[in-house]
Structure 1
Amino acid sequence: MKIKRIIPVVCLLAFGLLAGRGKSVAQNANLIDPEVETARTEAYESQLKNYLQHFLVEEYEARAAKQWNRDYSSPAALERSVSPNRRRWEEVLRPPILSKTGPLESKPHPLGEIQAEWLTLPLGLLTAEAVLAFPEGAGKEQPVPLIIVQHGIGSTPETPFSTGAYHEYAKGLLDAGFAVLLPMNLRSVERRNNVERFARLAGTSLPGIELVRVQHLLDVVLADPRVDADRVGMWGVSLGGMATMFWMPLEPRIKAGVVSAWFNQRRNKMAVPDERYSSFSPREEHAFFNGWLTEFSDDDLVSLIAPRPLMIQHGKNDNIAHWPQVVEEYEEAAIHYKLLKIPEKITLVLHEGGHEAIVEEGVQFLTDWLTVSGKEK
């Protein structure tokens, strides 16, 4: 009986609150003209945008200059001098601690004439999954270098074996004598947006999670006698290029990299919309990471990759960037290698195409730096 008496009281209270709220809104409308309020709010929004853009773009160089203390007297000296920045970059990605909770499982995963394997490695509630394929002749007596081949946001681990923008570059690597590991990362803008929201709440990031998955796969795959664990490279296209740029500073086992269709004048790309190139905002919120532009524009991030060999590929008809800005950013990045007296270890392939991988040049670059017959083992 008491419950029955309470229910009408609760309903009356709720009705009263709603009525009061409606009355408050009505009163507020009488206190300020809606057009005036809208103009005031839009002015504040403009202030915030201008303040943050000024911090990210105009103040970037002065701010970054105070954060970096590079020593170019030797490659080892550079790596030591940027170790504080490397730790801060790790704080941007915030890779979580994951542990292997079972053995690696492998099953046949034929891709046309290519006899590949599908790998699954349990990591608690997560799994690390990838395609693995070997060139003919790979074995214990003839171990081969390994390339991590990372697909883009609209693709799958199988896509780099296909035509189109990928131009079968995974197959090109196999034909050149490389083993290829093609990790499965999360596909589609919508999915990455959704998961990145949860990742930020959890104090991590999707690229950080996917880095750790690849690191655990490398632990196991590099123990395979068919693989030369000292000769590991990475080549990513589009969001796979992002992974290459993001992961090489934190994974020293990757000895050389190729970045296709990603490298950019990062401050403009992320913070200054321009009709000459596409912007991530407002649709692709997954691409914005806390602290990224405090000191890690692409040219600065490259100094966490040096002295390892790095190739940048960009098409003049790729609308992710205004290509002259890419050239400017590349020239800044190349300074790190010039000051180390190893300018040959970084190169830009500026081509007339679009958002794609350039196979012949990329394969040759990795062959030069990662094969026994190349420049260094």
Structure 2
Amino acid sequence: MPCALVAIVALMLAEVPDPLPGTRPLRQSGDLASAMVDGIDRFLLRKIDDSAGRRGAFWDRRLGDEQAFVAANEPNRLRLHKILGLRGGPIRTSGIPLDAMEVLSDTRNGPTIAEDATVRVVAVRWEAYRDVHGEGLMLIPKGDNRHLADVVAIPDSTQTPEALCGLEPGVAEESRFPLRLARSGCRVIVPVLVDRGATNEGIPHREHVYRSAFELGRHLIGYEANKVLSALMWLHADRDRDGDRRPIGVIGYGDGGMLALYTSAIQASARATCVSGYFGDRSRIWTEPVDRNVFGLLERFGDAEVAAMIAPRALIVEASRVPDVKVPPGGRAAPGSLAGQGGPTVRAEAKRADRMVAGLPGAGAIAVVGDGATPFGSREALGLFLKALRPELEVREATPLPPPVGALPDRDARASRALRELDRLNAEVLEESAGVREQFFKGVDASSLESFRRTIEPYRRTFEDDVIGRFDDVPLSPSPRSRKVFDEARYAGYEVMLDVFPDVFAYGILLVPKGIRPGERRPVVVCQHGLEGRPSDVADPRVNNPAYNQFAIRLAERGFITFSPQNPYIFHDRFRTLQRKANPLGKTLFSVIIPQHRQIVGWLKSLDFVDPTRIGFYGLSYGGKSAMRIPAAVPDYCLSICSADFNEWVWKNASTKSRYSYVWTGEYEIFEFDLGSTFNYAELAALIAPRPFMVERGHFDTVAPDEQVAFEYAKVRRLYAARLGIPDRTEIEFFVGPHTIHGVGTFRFLHRHLNWPEPRP
């Protein structure tokens, strides 16, 4: 054999890993955590690409008449209602009746802001939902300009009503569509949207409202849709009261176009709808500002499906330039930007909607104007909109109004009112959420362990299917690969990789104590790292991260087998955008993490030195979040320990008063839709029960104050001790220390409940 070939063979043999018996050699090099995040990214993008093709299963094509079509697809309307956070729709609580609006004035200024021979402008306010009001301008035709139609004209969130009407700079004359519509014989309401200014913490106002609302099953889109829907209800009631059947329309640009599309799909009062600067392909919704993130949208809805819900009423789409919005990465806010969609993309989506309703009596093709680069509010778009409202209406020019009669509305004070009202609404919903969850859990029977196990199962399915989100993919064969990475006196360490889904794998470090006898089966502790962590932080003897105190190693030295998985919450925005990509599919990061852990547990159970009935979970920080969610969905974990995370979780995510709240921090991915109505940490612990459950809590941990931790844990204690009669299966350990693994009471808990003797002193 030539010398060169001998050298190559010797090198190849030297590079062969020393695998765990029963596994193939793991040869993959590079950063496996980075490869994991990249693989999940490809998996989710593929799911987004496939989503449009899966929507047909949700849509009924009964097109005999409008009534049959609407009735057959009522589940879709209700689903859209829910994911937009519209709970109950516009509701009057007290005060001004529905058929009246406030016209605002004060001791210095009368009600009229500006007027000429054809149009009068006043500031108005109306009840929208609970104590939340809509506010903005009303343009009223006057003189010879007959009032022939009513319109709600919605600006983008970067625009004020005054700018859109030409009362202050910011919008070109040809784009002042509320004024043109008013001069054309329409009474026009122009509502204010929450703007894109930022809080002192650098969180945009719209994201600030979104964060709390999303956790509580509400949404900024739903809150603002309620304002528009209330205005439409007022217009409808007002025309009926006058006995004049004036047609009603809704039109909007940018965020206003989005609201026009959604509100017209939800409520059929608008005869004509015009959407500008919004309509198109939603598959890149994850790149837009996070206040547009809608959980589960792409499961059933692209813009075409929403547009189909408007048929057979008229819909005009203007492919115009989109607002210039960019939230850069590197701050506390979720990065995102708006990118224009060209005319071909917009027309393709409109044709998809046309095909959905082809054959529905009265349904015409969606009219599309513009090429994606033209200014909004074009004469062509407005002309089609007015003709659809009333054939005799013609577009007038937006000749400027005379200077205002008095002071314009204080835009800062008005924006502050809008923000405060929604902040108070979120706080009110947060306060009610405990009672909502209690009602939600009424179906659990804790009269016996058998009854509890039976009645808790539907909640486990709801948690994974509706809250976390479950992929229907059949897992791949795990095809375990491993390599020995260190050999210590008391244990050996192996890197292990398992296949889960195409492009998705699980990997971690397995520590196997030495001295396991033939035929002996040991308990396993899965030791989970926290945010930006790695298995080496937990299980590598060469790494000593003080937050973890090498707890996987310490447990291995006590005789436990340990496995320390890599969870994908690493690399900052790279993993946070995974959540952004998962959410429109009705999924979350844990929709991938849970299948990874199912594969891990299944593989561990197959090892001949593992007792399959004694596999426990112990996680710190984000690993503590994992300890609440993964064992709740994976019953093969026989116990769970939550360290440095357990608290009143919904409060921590939704409160805008507490300094502990995630509303103010950079973890923009942390919010889970509608957790407030379903599963706080006490309810997640109920999904773990009657298996043993423990909380490890440092007094100086800044996750939450002791009082909030104890408050939520008291509910867990009541379930285990008072209702189920198993007080020995749960405990909490407070210790004097920070956000760290303490490893005292928790180790005793593991020895006791995994039935493994403690080492002698």
TM-score, reference length from structure 2: 0.44
Post-superposition CA distance 1:41-94 (Å, at most 9, x none)? 332233223223321x21112212221123222222112222232222112111
1:46 corresponding residue in structure 2: 420
1:192 corresponding residue in structure 2: 575
Mapped partners of 1:300, 1:15: distance in 2: 48
- Alignment partner of 1:93 is 2:503: no
CA RMSD in angstroms, aligned pairs only:
2.9
Mapped partners of 1:302, 1:79: distance in 2: 13
**Once structures 1 and 2 are overlaid, which stretch shifts more, 269-278 or 117-126?**
269-278
Amino acid aligned to 1:65: E
1:4 corresponding residue in structure 2: none
| Secondary structure in 2 matching 1:314 | strand
1:106 corresponding residue in structure 2: 482
2:515 corresponding residue in structure 1: 137
Pairing 1:117-266 to 2, within 5 Å after superposition: 117-122=494-499, 123-138=501-516, 140-161=518-539, 162-186=544-568, 187-266=570-649
C-alpha deviation, 1:102, in angstroms: 5.9
2:439 corresponding residue in structure 1: 66
Question: Are the counterparts in 2 of residues 231 and 255 from structure 1 also a CA contact under 8 Å?
Answer: yes
C-alpha deviation, 1:192, in angstroms: 2.8
- Alignment partner of 1:293 is 2:670: no
Amino acid aligned to 1:67: F
Gaps of 5+ in 2: 1-342, 344-369, 379-396
Mapped partners of 2:409, 2:445: distance in 1: 57
C-alpha deviation, 1:103, in angstroms: 1.3
| Secondary structure in 2 matching 1:247 | helix
2:738 corresponding residue in structure 1: 354
Question: Are the counterparts in 1 of residues 508 and 535 from structure 2 also a CA contact under 8 Å?
Answer: yes
Amino acid aligned to 1:355: H
Mapped partners of 1:103, 1:267: distance in 2: 39
How many percent of aligned residue pairs carry the same amino acid? 24
Amino acid aligned to 2:522: V
Distance 1:167 1:18, change over 3 A: same
Distance 1:274 1:101, change over 3 A: same
Amino acid aligned to 2:505: T
Mapped partners of 1:278, 1:112: distance in 2: 43
User: Relative contact order (C-alpha < 8 Å, sep 6+): which is higher?
Assistant: 1
Distance 1:159 1:25, change over 3 A: farther
1:308 corresponding residue in structure 2: 691
Question: Are the counterparts in 1 of residues 653 and 661 from structure 2 also a CA contact under 8 Å?
Answer: no
- Higher relative helix content: 1
Gaps of 5+ in 1: 1-9
Mapped partners of 2:425, 2:715: distance in 1: 26
Mapped partners of 1:19, 1:366: distance in 2: 64
| Secondary structure in 1 matching 2:691 | coil
Mapped partners of 1:200, 1:15: distance in 2: 27
Question: Are the counterparts in 2 of residues 153 and 188 from structure 1 also a CA contact under 8 Å?
Answer: no
Post-superposition CA distance 1:135-179 (Å, at most 9, x none)? 122354111111111100121011113340111111121012111
Q: Which of the numbers 468, 493, 518 marks the counterpart of 1:116?
A: 493
Post-superposition CA distance 1:178-207 (Å, at most 9, x none)? 111111112144333211101112321112
Question: Are the counterparts in 1 of residues 437 and 676 from structure 2 also a CA contact under 8 Å?
Answer: no
C-alpha deviation, 1:341, in angstroms: 1.2
How many residues are paired up?
360
Mapped partners of 1:127, 1:299: distance in 2: 31
Q: Which of the numbers 436, 444, 455 marks the counterpart of 1:81?
A: 455
Segments ≥4 residues shifted beyond 3 Å: 13-21, 24-28, 30-35, 111-114, 273-276
Distance 1:230 1:17, change over 3 A: closer
Question: Are the counterparts in 2 of residues 147 and 180 from structure 1 also a CA contact under 8 Å?
Answer: yes
**Once structures 1 and 2 are overlaid, which stretch shifts more, 237-246 or 190-199?**
190-199
C-alpha deviation, 1:274, in angstroms: 4.5
Question: Are the counterparts in 1 of residues 538 and 552 from structure 2 also a CA contact under 8 Å?
Answer: yes
Mapped partners of 2:591, 2:447: distance in 1: 31
Distance 1:177 1:15, change over 3 A: closer
